[in-house]
Amino acid sequence: MSTPNAAAPGCITGPGRPSCASSPDCSASSRPPSREPRQRIMMLFAQGAELSVGHVAERVGISQATASQQLNLLRRGRVVTSRRDGKTVYYRADRDGAQAALAELQSYLNTCC
């Protein structure tokens, strides 16, 4: 019986090596944890919600610092946008930005591969 956080057979991880997530043999519990919070965060915005960092952190069950980092990555990736109201920053899905990023990715894949 394997431990819950153990890498699956054939899963090579470590510095300079592919992540476990790239191996088809990897279980969800052995994947790097950073992608999951971003996916859960994006689900919060699915119905057009606009949320502060604190609300995102509370609903996803992560610290405000982690929520802020993940939201910043999503903003840099153009899948969320933000606005400031006083001291509070609110985030929401950026449909146009996400579509543009996907179009750029599709264009790249059409030319590279």
Number of structural domains in the chain: 1
Q: What is the pTM of this model?
A: 0.64
- For 3-44, the pLDDT digits (tens) are 444 444 444 444 444 444 444 444 444 444 567 889 999 999
Structural domain for 64, as ranges? 31-112
DSSP the chain: ---TTSPPTT---STTS--GGGSTT--GGGS-TTHHHHHHHHHHTTT---EEHHHHHHHHT--HHHHHHHHHHHHHTTSEEEEEETTEEEEEE-HHHHHHHHHHHHHHHHHH-
Within-domain flag for 20: no
CATH number of the domain at 39, please.
1.10.10.10
Report residue 80 CA to chain centroid gap.
11
